[in-house]
Structure 1
Amino acid sequence: MTGVRSFIDLYPLSSYVDWAAKRNRDPILDVFKQLFPPSGDVLELATGSGVHINYFAPHFPHIRFQPSDYDKGVFAAVRQMQADSANANVWDPVHIDLTRPESWPDAKLHRYDVIFAINLFQVAPISVADGVMQIAARVLKNTGFLAIYGPFNVDGKYTAPSNEAFDQELRASNALEWGLKDVRDVEKAARNHGLVLTQQLALPANNFMLIFGRAQSRS
């Protein structure tokens, strides 16, 4: 991923990203309340400033949350938010670069009940889906799931005029990597690594929550 910033400033610590995160955090939380296990371990990919993980944590006191990001420059913000919120169940952030397998977590050391990523794909190349799926295939528990939230196209089509305008805005800033991805392309990457799309939930403001689980082997 490049360091190019949109004029709406999609840098993780920008005021725009903070506003967007606060707008979508409650609909996401409502889904997680239905899907999260009573206890366990959760990994967030591309944590950014930590606004989501630190908002969710108090609602799940028996779950341990692991923030991560490729940009170590955001770690201080994640730690500060964790301290300000007094979230004892949010661990120290770790470095994970979705394009570099050597940075990925080791299943021999830890496995997760849930992995989630929020508003990642529209500011990353579609190749990042392969990294996300490989990590999920590697460190998800057998009964675990991967949740991906954000705006997506479906079967090559925009789902709303506002999404089309947003896509054009993103591509004007970074034509090679940014822009809305298609659910089917993400689903294809998942299948390549033994994961299947189990739920495609429509959320407010023309966003989706995509839920993936391990493909069930046939006896």
Structure 2
Amino acid sequence: MPLPTDALESPAAARNAEPILAVLRAHLGPRARVLEIAAGTGQHAAAFARALPEVIWTPTDPDETARASIAAWREDAGLSNLAAPLRLDACDATTWPAGPFDAVVCINMVHISPWAATEGLMAGAASVLVTPGGLLALYGPYLEADTPLAPSNAAFDADLKRRNPDWGLRDRDAVVAEARRHGLTLTRRVEMPANNLMLLFRRA
């Protein structure tokens, strides 16, 4: 099937959508308002909005090309619960919408961005998750002191650092500590396919 005009496609997004959806389905409220950070191609936004018709999904990305792709997937999906993409840079507090949102979802951004983006993500999530129990869901590979690093993740980490010295797999405990600084507490660690994790945080 041909892609919608201007739409980009990520094989990884196609592979991991179902496992991520299974976790979100179990932890999102039935009418949750969700803000997706760094939505990339927009494939996840379209897939999750289609699978969760009562959830209002708002995708964002700082990149204009990515937003065009998100808009193309949105137009092709024709879903009333999938909002138009917003420009949001996790590092820039002025680009975050006012909210409120019930959940913030961020997939595969933390390791492909400078640490400042994770700091901004935690501060921004805390600002829009105004209700106690609000969910921040992160997906991706992490370094864990108590878990041996898979060879594939070690190679991926080295490749990321070659591409940009500010990128690379983050220490899970450092991410958890940064979240805690903003009133977000880790409540669940879910092992995912291909040596990835979902980390679920709740607003105090």
Structure 2 residue aligned with 1:154 = 144
Residue 44 of structure 2 corresponds to residue 52 of structure 1? yes
Residue 172 of structure 2 corresponds to residue 183 of structure 1? yes
Residue 149 of structure 2 corresponds to residue 163 of structure 1? no
Structure 1 residue aligned with 2:87 = 95
TM-score (norm 1): 0.85
Deviations 1:161-216 (A, max 9, x none): 110011111111112x111111111111111111111111111100000001123x
Report deviation, 1:99.
1.1
Matched to 2:70, the amino acid is V
Report deviation, 1:23.
1.1
Check conservation: 1:42, 1:64, Cα contact below 8 A: yes
Between the two proteins, the alignment pairs up a number of residues equal to: 197
Deviations 1:11-31 (A, max 9, x none): xx765xx01111111110111
TM-score (norm 2): 0.91
Whole-Å Cα distance in 2 between the matches of residues 164 and 86 of structure 1? 40
Provide the alpha-carbon RMSD of the alignment.
1.5
Structure 2 residue aligned with 1:35 = 27
Whole-Å Cα distance in 1 between the matches of residues 159 and 11 of structure 2? 18
Structure 1 residue aligned with 2:4 = none
Whole-Å Cα distance in 2 between the matches of residues 120 and 93 of structure 1? 17
Q: Please, which of 128, 141, 144 is the counterpart of residue 139 of structure 1?
A: 128
Structure 2 residue aligned with 1:115 = 104
Percent sequence identity is 38
Whole-Å Cα distance in 2 between the matches of residues 158 and 54 of structure 1? 35
Segments of 4+ in structure 1 off by > 6 A? none
Q: Decide whether aligned partners of structure 1 residues 163 and 14 sit closer, same or farther in structure 2, where only a CA change above 3 A counts.
A: farther
Matched to 2:185, the amino acid is V
